[in-house]
Amino acid sequence: MKNNAATPENPVSLKDTNARRKSLKSSITKPPIPPIRKSSIAKPPVTETGVIGWLKSNLFNSPRDTVITILVLLVFYKLIPPFIRWAFIDSVWFGPSSGCQPGVGACWAYIPANIRFVIFGLFPAEEQWRGLIAMLIMIGTVVYSRKRERWKLSLAYVWLGNTVLVAILITGGVFGLVPVESTKWGGLLLTLMLSVVGMTAAYPLGVVLALARRSKMPTIRTIAVVYIEMIRGVPLISMLFMSAVMFPLFLPEGVTINKIFRAQVAIIMFTAAYIAEVVRGGLQAMPKGQYEAAESMGLNYFQMMRLVILPQALKIVIPPTVGILISAFKDTSLVAIISLYDLLKTCQSTLSDPRWMGFSTEAFIFIAMIYFVFCYAMSSYSRRLEQELSAGQSH
């Protein structure tokens, strides 16, 4: 038997063996790999991608979805084309009411013909520029306050100064301005005044009531509980009636308080009670460790609430708080019950005119759009503020 080991007679080293193996492998030719053509790659079906795929997965994914989609399309087919024809094609945008035909097309001529009364109410026509400036100041102050870097003590002075300026513009009697009685305030001007002042005053009052309800002092806690539960147990319309009818009966003879001021106080008290309960929920959601950490740093009660607890609690309750403020803005229309000419009341007054009596649909659509613009602006701002403050993140 031949020995292949490396010996002096047969000097075959391991290195030579490995070299032979490599040469043997290299001599074996591999078949060439054909190139992959794009046409040979399987593509997803057309029904699974693009617009068709989206329609199939979202609208026609099952027999039930298909039936619902078809029914909704039929409803749209029955409603949208007639509405477009009524609102845009056959509508009248300008001119007297005689150019409109009830039931044929929308009479949007109602808007330019009554816009001044709807916006300013009975405010004197030659002084309506004051009301316009006052509304711009109120809206501008709210817009200016939306940036968080401006939430400082100086912002309170801005609000105080602008409030005084708006009061001077509306009431007059100083700086050569003609006095205007409060009975002539109305329209969108009155609605903005009631809502802006009401929400601005109700929010801090609600925070104070929430803190009072969680106070360790029994007297303060009892007063806050009685106030909150009593106000929340009564509808706003009842409070408005009490402020307009019953409250003057308890005043001394010869003493009167402005009806608008009484309605404003009722709105503030009502809104503050609901905000207090929302803020209290945010305070209860705070972990006990936050209170203990603030106390361990040597902070007193007011410092702890201002620097540690309230900033976190108020972030948690942004969505429900904004919901209450939006409801408060819409509830200002209830002052029409006590004969205040707000936005809704002025609209109803214009419809009592025989010339515009048959066009209530156009009038109320116009009023609804005004409310929608303001409510949508508040809702959009709350969503943006919630994102900025990361209120949706779990603590």
23 located within any domain: no
* Burial of 195: CB neighbours in 10 Å, binned 0-12, 13-18, 19+: buried
In this structure, are 281 and 216 located in the same domain?
Answer: yes
Residue where a domain terminates, one of 137, 154, 179 = 179
In this structure, are 155 and 281 located in the same domain?
Answer: no
- Taking the alpha carbons at both ends of the chain, their separation in whole angstroms is 83
In this structure, are 262 and 252 located in the same domain?
Answer: yes
Instruction: Grade residue 92 by pLDDT with cuts at 50, 70 and 90.
Output: confident
151 located within any domain: yes
38 located within any domain: no
Q: What percent of the chain has pLDDT over 90?
A: 43
6 located within any domain: no
Q: What is d(CA 368, CA 361) in angstroms, rounded to the nearest whole number?
A: 10
In this structure, are 165 and 314 located in the same domain?
Answer: no
97 located within any domain: no
**Amino acid, single-letter form, for residue 378:** M
311 located within any domain: yes
For 219-234, the pLDDT digits (tens) are: 999 999 999 999 999 9
Tell whether pTM > 0.75: yes
Q: Which structural domain range is residue 315 located in?
A: 110-123+180-388
pLDDT value of position 36: 56
pLDDT value of position 392: 47
CATH, residue 371: 1.10.3720.10
360 located within any domain: yes
In this structure, are 115 and 134 located in the same domain?
Answer: no
For 247-299, the pLDDT digits (tens) are: 888 888 878 888 899 999 999 999 999 999 999 999 998 888 888 888 888 88
**Count of structural domains, the chain:** 3
Check if the beta carbon of residue 100 is closer than 8 Å to that of residue 359.
yes
For 177-199, the pLDDT digits (tens) are: 999 998 899 999 999 999 999 99
